[in-house]
Chains A and B, each alone.
Chain A
């Protein structure tokens, strides 16, 4: 059993208008030192062990085809092996 965490963020070159709006609010809170905020997406995925299937390959396929739009987004992931829960 694995716990997988996937982080999807906009590519550096892509404007993030939501992040900019949040940064504006943070500045209005008085924290002028906050230089940049970019918003991304976070996924928690549970994966059971699958004979003959490479988990990294599976996660990357899911990310490339669904979780991220690779035209404008990029992703990274962390895989943690955990004990089977009964």
Chain B
């Protein structure tokens, strides 16, 4: 498969993300600037972490109006894999591709630490190589990661098994229901605050994130091949 890693002004996890999909999952990937208007020839799109546009206004609020976002929207509509981590997740909620919003951390701290995550749903295309309920060691690094949505949306997330990851031992940011990552109803757009791309080799403390990318490739490549 061929993945696009979008570079916004202020992205800073783009290199890690490219490394994860290329060297970790063994797929093709290239950087694509936010100014581009086409994702022709790509099979999936990855939105990296960072501080796009300096987090001005709200994290992700400016980036969602980038040229490339109409293509990201198209990928989401067409069922192609769209993944956003950290700032990428913030951009996806601002763009309305995922429900809810990400608020300032409850304790106002920027938190950079390794967390225990629980796999709430191992039946998504992004998590099929995990066991249900499995605990993963994956780092977080954010100041605005407190997931919020209204009660009706939360019920909908639960009804459709859209909560994919939660914080297992402690909730670092005050997110409702300890939510760390969610998927859209169609199952092809996933956003999460933690950084699986920073946990793909033991040398860096954990390789629990690797199966995330491998699951995504395994499941979506079947579809790409059959089309």
A44 CB to nearest B CB, Å: 15
A17 at the interface (CB under 8 A from B): yes
B61 touches A71 (CB 8 A): no
Residue B22 at the A interface, CB < 8 A? Answer: no
Residues of chain A contacted by B57 (CB below 8 angstroms): 41, 66-67
Across the interface, which residues of B come within 8 angstroms of A66, CB to CB?
Answer: 57, 61, 65
B153 nearest in chain A by CB position:
A71
Chain B residues near A41 (CB, 8 Å)? 57
Query: How many residue pairs, one in A and one in B, have C-beta atoms under 8 Å apart?
Result: 33
The answer to whether A71 touches B104 (Cβ under 8 A) is no
Interface SS majority for chain B: loop
| A14 within 8 A of partner (CB) | yes
Interface size class of A (residues with CB under 8 A): 10 to 19
A3 adjacent to chain B (CB < 8 Å): no
Interface string of A1-33 (1 = CB under 8 A from B): 000000000000011011001000000000000
Known: A17-B108, A18-B104, A21-B108. A72 touches B61 (CB 8 A): no
Is B43 among interface residues, defined by CB-CB distance under 8 A?
A: no
Q: How far is A18 from B146 in the complex, measured between Cα atoms in Å?
A: 13
Interface of A is mostly: mixed
Please pick, from B106, B107, B150, the residue contacting A71 in the complex, using a CB distance under 8 A: B150
Determine whether the beta carbon of A14 is less than 8 Å from that of B103.
yes
> Is the CB–CB distance between A18 and B108 below 8 Å?
yes
Chain B interface, number of residues (Cβ within 8 angstroms): 19
- Cβ of B108 and Cβ of A69 under 8 Å apart? no
With A17-B104, A17-B105, A17-B107 as known contacts, state yes or no: A69 contacts B150, CB within 8 Å: no
25 pairs from A and B in contact (CB 8 Å cutoff): A14-B103, A14-B148, A15-B103, A15-B106, A17-B105, A17-B106, A17-B107, A17-B108, A18-B104, A18-B108, A41-B57, A66-B61, A66-B65, A67-B57, A69-B61, A69-B94, A71-B93, A71-B99, A71-B100, A71-B101, A71-B148, A71-B149, A72-B101, A72-B103, A72-B148
**A-B CB proximity, top 8 nearest:** A71-B101, A72-B101, A17-B108, A69-B101, A17-B106, A17-B104, A69-B58, A72-B148
Q: Which residues of B contact A (CB under 8 A)?
A: 57-58, 61, 65, 93-94, 99-101, 103-108, 148-150, 174
Known: A17-B104, A41-B57, A72-B103. 16 other contacts (CB 8 A): A14-B103, A14-B148, A15-B174, A17-B106, A17-B108, A18-B108, A21-B108, A66-B61, A67-B57, A69-B58, A69-B94, A69-B101, A71-B93, A71-B99, A71-B150, A72-B101
